[in-house]
Structure 1
Amino acid sequence: MNQDPSKRPAVVVTGISGNLGRTLAKLLHKHERIIGIDRRPFAGRPKDVEMYEMDLRKKKAEDVFRKNDIRAVIHMGIMHDPRMSEEEHHSFNVVGTTRLLEYCAKYGVQKVVVLSSANVYGPSPDNSNFLTEDAPLMAASRFSGVRDLIEVDMLAHSFFWKHPHIQTVILRPVHIVGPTIKNAPSNYLRLRYPWVMAGFDPMVQLIHVEDVARAMVEAALRPEPKGVYNVVGPGEVPLSAIHGELGHSPVPVPHPVARPLLGLLFKYRLANFPPPELDHIQFLCNVDGSRWRKDVAWQPRHSMRDTIRSVIGD
């Protein structure tokens, strides 16, 4: 006798309506019962994905856990909007994550995957090459806008130690790019005449959105992964080589001028990037992904050329 699909243990995915969430849903839904939670509607949702349009901070979100058998949670419900207030960012990201982790503990979820970012380490002139998972999270010292992303990462880390019976995984992928991704790295790499910092050509790590989705599936469904992992793509490459592959005409800007000028452009909505983002095209923030490769026999499927060219689509 076939089991009623609505009674099967489910995987909850927060932030499912975003471009990364939709990529993940397409990978998972044919094999798993998926429950999505997001404030936004899910455009093109597969019919077998159960969807709750709600805010994790609202009490109704607990009903999803009370009424369903949840085997794993993949938490991507993090807001990244440089034009939103820090107060709203903090409330949505930190309070929402706190509530979600409380529900996981209360209702016996066995696997929790939290998507963080290698950006929590922060680009810096003092960085050594290839930071390990034990490196301090210093991004907020130069860019206060990532403070709550670090706090979410630390909340998940604390949850890992408080609830050792729950397999908690914190993934810190490098810059995620892809044809539908609208984050700062992808948007920057779509510029025909991108700024570069005069005299600087840092090595950069990129990962294709489909490889990140695969990593989250591996983290959620395999029993072995537990703890914090840097997740890297096909390697690292000089920023100049990326611009060359994409046929760009970079504009060198002296770094003392760049920050105040970008601040003005951002203020008047003539640029989409706040000035602290310039650190990523000036300083190193490369991470060591060997622990993830070893524990799950990880290999990205997309080559460096495919990953770079994914920002301009097919």
Structure 2
Amino acid sequence: MNGILQDNKIRTAVLIIGIFIAFIVMVLSVVLGYTDTSLSMAIEAYTAFNGSNEHLIIQLSRVPRALVGMAVGISLGIAGVLMQALTRNPIASPDIFGVNAGAGFFIVFGVTFLGITSIQQFMWIGFLGAAVASGLAYALGSAGRGGLTPVKLTLAGAVMAALFASLTQGMLVTNEKALDEVLFWLAGSVEGRKLSMLAAVMPALLIAWTVSMLLSRQLNAFALGEDVAVSLGQKTVIFKFAAALMVVLLAGGSVAIAGPISFIGIVVPHFARYLVGSDHRWIVPFSALTGGIMLVLADIGARYIIMPEEAPVGVVTALLGTPFFIYIVRKGIFQR
């Protein structure tokens, strides 16, 4: 598959332009919303802080929100690329395969029965839930005749997502306190997130981003088929374990801080392939950048849908991603 950007110099230029666009989008996230602010006011909030309501909102809400949205979008975009390459399934993503639902279930379980309240605890239990959900989906999709296939893995992931979502709802019904604490979070939101929360998960995300970039060359070989990858000298067992671990870090960290946000991991890898083709050395960075931009833009839109109240950003990403998901399924791509 050839993308519309076939020259590496052009790809590099577009990537640099994309970084600039990401910065502009984050600036818009800081200044746009129910409270009227401006770029000069945002700068003054850090250079001439006066304790005003606007300056406090910029420092304590808008800037952390923009940074969290960008970090989560980058993580979900990369996680989608890894999952689609590992499974050779174009609709693979943390939300479709139940990884987000598993992480969410474990976090709600921790809030309900273990009294967990800190983001550090959320992070570790989110990682555990993501790992358990991934393992169960992979095991279920590999069972039976024919071994692992894209269709079986998709169905197994859907089963895991439904199972963990049902268990989560069951716990919330019996615990109103937990319902109040996590209901908005479960819809996927970056509102009210603090820089300390981002700092708690950032080391894991940075490791996952870096390792995913290093794995991108091996993703090209693996995409040709596992037998071909082995013939080229790739240790596929180690490679698959490393890539799966990165998905757990990316999805678990994202869910811990922002809740289960859907469809970013499905949409952005396809957009990246449209731009740069099948070379994962370019797909990974383009997906990361596109995911961050898309999530921050969705968060800006979420502020205006039911103003003066705000909709969870997960609702907006679902509205944007559902038509694209239907398009993929109608074309029958996942059956290839």
- Tell me the TM-score range normalised by the shorter chain: under 0.3
Select the structure with the greater relative contact order (CA < 8 A; seq sep ≥ 6).
2
TM-score by length of 2: 0.25
Higher strand share: 1
